Structure 1
Amino acid sequence: MTATAAPVRAPRITGDLRTDAAALRRHTAADDARLAELPANPDRTPAQQQAADGLHRSSRSLRSRFMAAHAPAVHAELTEGGTGWLRIAELAEAATDRFPGLVPTKEQLAQERTHRQAHKEAREIDQAIFLHGLLGVPAVGRHVVDAMRQPTPRALALLDDFRRSGVAEFATVRLERDGDIGRVTLCNAHCLNAEDDQLTADLETAVDLVLLDDGIRAGLLRGTTMTHPRYAGRRVFSAGINLKHLHEGKISYIDFLLDRELGYLSKIVRGLWTGADGGWAEKPWAAAVDTFAIGGGMQVLLACDQVVAGADAYFTLPAAQEGIVPGLANLRLGRWVGARLARDIILTGRRLHAVEPEARLLCAEIVDPDEVGAAADRAAARLTAPAVVANRHMLNLADEPVDVFRTFVAEFALVQGDRLYSPDVLAKVGARWSTGERR
């Protein structure tokens, strides 16, 4: 480690917010200045990379201790005493102004975005420390969870037009009102409905519209017909996270990995919170699986009330083999298929084929591949019965209380942030993307 790159001794946490915030600002600025003296990540020698790692560890240790001491006060300041309902991206952005050095700036994140995942400074880990600290405090974390369950501004802006037309088109999703069913079709066809930042944003908008539209009583998720040469003319549910985008550094920690869990998936499970005056908007969901539901695609099924699959379909969660955590599958899968089978699927990457008896634990119906659409329509129609919403609300309350969800997501935020930049993940993602091994 060179003398110029050596971290300075981290200050102690005093317990006084202003004193500690000032110390945090000075210490992280000093570490960043020393980091800037080193070559860019891909050009470093092993010794220089060791020096960079030491600088990051020094700042991250201080950030962790600062959040452990001050998370409620930080949140109160960012939300004007809890009166403001900020999404996690907005909280992180606000923190760059109020608490310099706590999270990366817009400029730092923009610079990161120009690099492949393996060549970044891993500044999203600092966002993970911040969000872990907020979500880990019960009252603060519940405020964050509720803020993320409010309708997005994009959905509210489109609502009147959707109510008139019954159709909403996005870059990767199509939404259509069909009677009292909201049909949400995944249309990221060029990559087998692989998940990326755009699909996450589009899906959340579509889910919001389904939940806000009074004419819709149930949602139905299905993949569109593929243009990909290998599956041309066939429908596919989802290939999971876009490994090409992850390899290229285009998968966002907040806008993808955290937003999907706290955003549209949480809304599917628990519904929208429309504010103190508006109350809740909750509806049941069905999913139709053609061909396969890989990774995040399988995770989506765990949030739905009814799943219909073609007999030729399969389900798998390869995240452990890739080195990351499969979203909230570790929380939810065992409730559907039992603890032992859940461990087999998550820890070994076992593929569960629809023709296997165990697949009935995940799916309400297994049908001929040509009958998936009709069977899914019937499943969605069954969910429109008047008492379904109340009963699924109580089932979800028993299965996944909000504080259980919050506690899990707090730890997930930290663990997943770290795994995204682990050496084994960076090596495996590049290899799997280049060979197409996942599919």
Structure 2
Amino acid sequence: MRTYQTLTVETAGRVAIVTFRRADQLNAMNRLMQGEITESFESLSGDASIGAIVVTGEGRGFMAGADIKEYAAQTGPEFDIFQAAGMRMYAAIENNRKPVIAAVNGFALGGGMELVLCCDLVIANQFAKLGLPEIKLGLIPGGGGTQRSVAKLGRSRANFLLMTGAIVPASEFVAAGLVNEIVEVDRLMPRALELAEMIAAEPAAAIEGLKALTAHAVSGDLDDGLTMERDILGELYRSEIGQQRVKEFAGRSTTKAKKGGP
């Protein structure tokens, strides 16, 4: 597996673990890191041996946004290139064929929260905090934060984060549905891996189909989504594993009925 300078990619069975490794910078994202995130996620998306991905950060931070020192030194054209490359990076996560689970271990700010917004499930420890503080620099999010925050949190909640730059405990995002669970520090990775292994054990085609359908449901037309759902279900039902599991379940139900069991 390829070696990176700003992150590591490890595997545990059918689960890939991507860990940002710029702890001394709270894993702030520079151009090198941006490119390596894109490359690693695009590679994992096409890897048939991987069924799910967990992404986390080393040290006290998940990702504290862009590397402001590098950001400040960019020329106008360099800034535009950086932003365009960022769109590809976020797409590599959001549109990944594998479910992506964020294990948020600390600050997820700016581009870090935008990355969380691209993930399919989010587990955070009790000290994790999220925010989109770009307004404090007189800027706005440039990695889809204005759009994905509204889609996942609602407009009023998104406006509060965007217009005040507030940094909010992850626990406050559970009710909104962005964060699935808050766990103790020492339970963060075990719980994220437990979920990833559970998902990776299911048929890849079914998981991929579910991811596509729920993504479509956020912003797509309902009738188109229902057609997609019907078509994907039909393919899965006719597949070898679909037929096998349905028949196995039917056989178990018949046996229980004959024995008078529940």
CA distance in 2, matches of 1:317, 1:187: 22
Among residues 237, 253, 277, which one is paired with 2:79 in the alignment?
253
Question: Could you say if the C-alpha distance between residues 175 and 250 of structure 1 is closer, same or farther in structure 2, counting changes exceeding 3 Å?
Answer: farther
In the alignment, which residue of structure 2 is the partner of 1:274? none
More strand by share: 2
In the alignment, which residue of structure 1 is the partner of 2:110? 295
Is residue 395 of structure 1 aligned with residue 214 of structure 2? yes
Paired residue secondary structure (1:325): coil
1:413-434 deviation digits (Å, cap 9, x = unpaired): xxxxxxxxxxxxxxxxxxxxxx
Is residue 315 of structure 1 aligned with residue 130 of structure 2? yes
Question: After the TM superposition, which residues 139-218 of structure 1 pair with which residues of structure 2 at under 5 Å, given as runs?
Answer: 162=1, 168-218=2-52
Is residue 345 of structure 1 aligned with residue 161 of structure 2? yes
What TM-score, normalized to structure 2?
0.76
CA deviation after TM superposition for structure 1 residue 395, in Å: 1.2
Paired residue secondary structure (2:64): coil
Is residue 334 of structure 1 aligned with residue 150 of structure 2? yes
Amino acid corresponding to residue 293 of structure 1 in structure 2: A
1:187·1:223 contact (CA, 8 Å) conserved in 2? yes
CA deviation after TM superposition for structure 1 residue 244, in Å: 1.1
In the alignment, which residue of structure 1 is the partner of 2:230? none
CA distance in 2, matches of 1:338, 1:399: 12
Question: Could you say if the C-alpha distance between residues 357 and 222 of structure 1 is closer, same or farther in structure 2, counting changes exceeding 3 Å?
Answer: closer
In the alignment, which residue of structure 2 is the partner of 1:219? 53
CA distance in 1, matches of 2:132, 2:8: 26
Paired residue secondary structure (1:399): helix
Is residue 237 of structure 1 aligned with residue 62 of structure 2? yes
Alpha-carbon RMSD: 1.9
Paired residue secondary structure (2:193): helix
1:251-274 deviation digits (Å, cap 9, x = unpaired): 93344211121x121122223xxx
1:239·1:294 contact (CA, 8 Å) conserved in 2? yes
Question: Could you say if the C-alpha distance between residues 253 and 202 of structure 1 is closer, same or farther in structure 2, counting changes exceeding 3 Å?
Answer: same
CA deviation after TM superposition for structure 1 residue 360, in Å: 5.4
CA distance in 2, matches of 1:190, 1:222: 15
Structure number with the bigger relative contact order (C-alpha 8 A, sep ≥ 6) is 2
CA distance in 2, matches of 1:378, 1:400: 30
Question: After the TM superposition, which residues 101-140 of structure 1 pair with which residues of structure 2 at under 5 Å, given as runs?
Answer: none
CA deviation after TM superposition for structure 1 residue 219, in Å: 1.2
CA distance in 1, matches of 2:210, 2:10: 26
1:306·1:379 contact (CA, 8 Å) conserved in 2? no
Paired residue secondary structure (2:208): helix
1:310·1:368 contact (CA, 8 Å) conserved in 2? yes
2:174·2:181 contact (CA, 8 Å) conserved in 1? no
CA distance in 1, matches of 2:173, 2:118: 21
CA deviation after TM superposition for structure 1 residue 338, in Å: 1.7
CA distance in 2, matches of 1:309, 1:250: 36
Among residues 99, 102, 109, which one is paired with 1:284 in the alignment?
99
- What is the number of equivalent residue pairs in this alignment? 215
Paired residue secondary structure (1:382): helix
CA distance in 1, matches of 2:75, 2:43: 27
1:175·1:183 contact (CA, 8 Å) conserved in 2? yes
CA distance in 1, matches of 2:121, 2:192: 9
CA distance in 2, matches of 1:332, 1:382: 26
CA deviation after TM superposition for structure 1 residue 194, in Å: 0.4
For structure 1, the 5+ residue unaligned runs are 1-161, 163-167, 226-234, 272-281, 402-439
Amino acid corresponding to residue 212 of structure 2 in structure 1: H
Paired residue secondary structure (1:185): strand
Is residue 364 of structure 1 aligned with residue 172 of structure 2? no
Question: Could you say if the C-alpha distance between residues 268 and 356 of structure 1 is closer, same or farther in structure 2, counting changes exceeding 3 Å?
Answer: closer
CA distance in 2, matches of 1:357, 1:240: 19
1:186-230 deviation digits (Å, cap 9, x = unpaired): 1122311101111111111111221121100111111013xxxxx
CA deviation after TM superposition for structure 1 residue 358, in Å: 5.1
CA deviation after TM superposition for structure 1 residue 296, in Å: 0.5
1:139-186 deviation digits (Å, cap 9, x = unpaired): xxxxxxxxxxxxxxxxxxxxxxx3xxxxx3211011112211111111
What TM-score, normalized to structure 1?
0.47
CA distance in 1, matches of 2:113, 2:58: 16
CA distance in 1, matches of 2:65, 2:173: 24
2:7·2:19 contact (CA, 8 Å) conserved in 1? yes
2:53·2:196 contact (CA, 8 Å) conserved in 1? yes
